[in-house]
Structure 1
Amino acid sequence: MSNLYKDLKAEWGKRAPNLLRCGELLGIFKLEMAKGAFLMPREALNSNPKQKDQLVRSRDVLEIAVEHSITVKDYAAFERYMAQLNMYYYDYDKFLEPSKEMHKMIGLSLLYMLATNRIADFHIALERLPSDLLLQNSFIMPVLALENYFMEGRYNKILQAKKSMPSEIYGNFMDMLVNTAREEIASCIEKAYLKMSPKQAAQRLCLKVGGKELLELVKRRHWTLDAEGNYDYASLNSKPKEEIPSNDIAIQNLSYATELEKIV
Structure 2
Amino acid sequence: MSKKKVFDEAVKFYSELSAEFKGKSGQPNLEQCGNILSKLKILITQLNFLPIEESSNCQKEMTLARDVIELGALYSIATRDIPAFRKYMNQLKAYYFDYKDLPKSFFRSQLLGLNLLCLLAQNQVSDFHSEIERLSYDEMQNDHYIKHPIKIEQYLMEGNYNKLFLAKSNIPSESYSYFIEMLLLTVRTEIASCLEKAYRDISTSEAQRLLHLSSQKELQEFSENRKWDFDSKIISFPLEEAKDSIPAKEVTKMMLDYACELEMII
Q: TM-score range, shorter-chain basis?
A: 0.7 to 0.9
The alpha carbon displacement at 1:54 in A equals 0.7
Q: Who is 2:130 aligned against?
A: 124
Q: Identity of counterpart residues, as a percentage?
A: 35
1:35 Cα offset (Å) = 3.8
Residue of structure 2 aligned with 1:53, choices 47, 57, 60: 60
Specify the alignment match of 1:6 in structure 2: 15
Q: Does the CA contact (< 8 Å) of 1:155 and 1:185 recur in 2?
A: no
The residue that corresponds to 2:163 in the other structure is: 157
The residue identity in structure 1 corresponding to 2:236 is D
Deviations 1:101-137 (A, max 9, x none): 2111100111111122222221221122122221221
Pairwise CA distance, 1:170: 1.3
1:53-97: per-residue Cα shift (whole Å, max 9, x none)? 11111111111112222122222221121111111112212x313
Match of 1:20 in 2: 31
Shift of 1:195: 2.2
Contact 2:223 2:230 in 1 (8 A): no
Which structure carries more relative contact order (alpha carbon 8 Å, separation 6+)?
1
Cα distance, 1:235–1:101 mapped onto 2, change above 3 Å: same
1:110 corresponds in structure 2 to 116
Q: What CA deviation, in whole Å up to 9, does each residue of 1:214-233 have, x standing for no partner?
A: 2332233332359x963334
For 1:231, the aligned partner's letter is I
Contact 1:182 1:205 in 2 (8 A): yes
Segments of structure 2 that go 5 or more residues without pairing to the other structure are 1-9, 259-266
In 2, are the aligned partners of 1:115 and 1:173 still within 8 Å (CA)? yes
The answer for the alignment partner of 1:216 in structure 2 is 221
Matches within 5 A, 1:69-108: 69-93=76-100, 95-108=101-114
Contact 2:201 2:235 in 1 (8 A): yes
Give the conservation status (yes or no) of the 8 Å contact 1:116–1:180. no
- The letter of the residue matching 1:155 is Y
What CA deviation, in whole Å up to 9, does each residue of 1:225-264 have, x standing for no partner?
A: 59x963334724x6512443246668999xxxxxxxxxxx
1:241 matched to 2:250: no
How many angstroms apart in 2 are the aligned matches of 1:63 and 1:159?
28
Letter paired with 2:226: R
CA distance in 1, matches of 2:19, 2:74: 15
Quote the Cα distance in structure 2 between the aligned partners of 1:69 and 1:252. Answer: 65
* Cα distance in 1 for residues equivalent to 2:12 and 2:254: 77
CA contact (8 A) 1:158 1:181 kept: no
Q: Report if aligned partners of 1:117, 1:180 keep a CA contact under 8 Å in 2.
A: no
Aligned residues: 245
DSSP 3-state at the match of 2:135: coil
- Going from structure 1 to structure 2, the CA distance change for 1:251 and 1:48 (only over 3 Å counts) comes to farther
| Selected match of 2:198 from 192, 196, 216 | 192
Post-superposition CA distance 1:175-207 (Å, at most 9, x none) = 222212211221222233332122211121122
Per the alignment, residue 44 of structure 2 pairs with 33
Q: Sort the Cα spacing of 1:240 and 1:224 in 2 relative to 1 into closer, same or farther, 3 A.
A: farther
Q: Which amino acid aligns with 1:240?
A: K
Q: Contact between 2:155 and 2:161, CA under 8 Å: does it hold in 1?
A: yes
1:172-187 aligned within 5 A? 172-187=178-193
Partner residue of 1:231 out of 206, 210, 235:
235
Task: Determine the C-alpha separation between the residues in 1 that align with 2:74 and 2:254.
Answer: 61
Q: Deviations over 1:17-56 (max 9, x none)?
A: 3222111110111112234352244xx3xx2220111111
Q: Partners in 1 of 2:107 and 2:255 — Cα distance?
A: 69
* 1:157 to partner: Cα distance: 1.6
Gaps of 5+ in 1: 254-264
